[in-house]
Chains A and B, each alone.
Chain A
Amino acid sequence: ELKVEQNPLFLSMQEGKNYTIYCNYSTTSDRLYWYRQDPGKSLESLFVLLSNGAVKQEGRLMASLDTKARLSTLHITAAVHDLSATYFCAHGGNDMRFGAGTRLTVKP
């Protein structure tokens, strides 16, 4: 059974600080996604990681994939308030499943 475990579930950061969100998955399918969701809104695709060692960056967010460890990370650099949202990792091919989500709050 496909399982996706994400941590931490809650993250309160100071502006300007760095932090990493972790996502572990259980199956050999190596397709990993990161999404952002603002309150009351739909899901915004951030990154699609398709192979071992894949690293993608967009602004202050960088995602990586280690298929041997079945681990993906989302690194936040120099956080700003606008990054406050819930971040989900998701895994799978034809049956994408989501982690529990990390609710990120960036404080001044």
Chain B
Amino acid sequence: DTEVTQTPKHLVMGMTNKKSLKCEQHMGHRAMYWYKQKAKKPPELMFVYSYEKLSINESVPSRFSPECPNSSLLNLHLHALQPEDSALYLCASSQDFSGQGIHGYTFGSGTRLTVV
């Protein structure tokens, strides 16, 4: 298995809703990442997990709450989002914390989130 699987692919949520994005990989990668991508912009780093521990939080608002239950799973819990949070949320994984390996980072297909 050489994929990163993200669910759901599309999500529409109200500003008072609570929802979660899920990311799963079975490549034995020990680092996992959340990126946010607005339309026609580059992906922006949000969170980095290394060996299931949060190692980087890029000053992301607390309405985004990451969780790494085990080495294969990464969740992003969403609460009280704003319309400007609408974006493509990408999950990625890499062999280790430094992104080593000839393949670098593997990205999932993303969750397209719309906040109404």
Which residues of A come within 8 Å of B, CB atoms? 31, 33, 35, 41-43, 45, 48, 88, 92-101
Task: Say whether, besides A94-B56, A95-B48, A95-B56, A48 and B43 are in contact (CB < 8 Å).
Answer: no
Q: Which stretch from B65-73, B76-84, B98-106 is at the chain A interface? A: B98-106
Interface string of B75-111 (1 = CB under 8 A from A): 0000000000000001000000111011111111110
Determine the distance from Cα of A100 to Cα of B44 in the docked complex, in whole angstroms: 10
- B43 to chain A: which residues have CB within 8 Å? 43, 88, 98
Partner of A94, one of B48, B101, B104, B109: B48
- A92 to chain B: which residues have CB within 8 Å? 99
Determine the distance from Cα of A35 to Cα of B109 in the docked complex, in whole angstroms: 14
Interface range, B side: 20 to 34
Determine the distance from Cα of A43 to Cα of B89 in the docked complex, in whole angstroms: 12
- A97 to chain B: which residues have CB within 8 Å? 45
- Nearest chain-A residue to B31 (Cβ)? A94
A94 and B107 contact, CB distance less than 8 A = no
Determine the distance from Cα of A88 to Cα of B43 in the docked complex, in whole angstroms: 9
- B16 to chain A: which residues have CB within 8 Å? none
Determine the distance from Cα of A43 to Cα of B4 in the docked complex, in whole angstroms: 12
B98 and A93 contact, CB distance less than 8 A = yes
- B106 to chain A: which residues have CB within 8 Å? 45
A42 and B56 contact, CB distance less than 8 A = no
- A41 to chain B: which residues have CB within 8 Å? 109
Determine the distance from Cα of A98 to Cα of B90 in the docked complex, in whole angstroms: 13
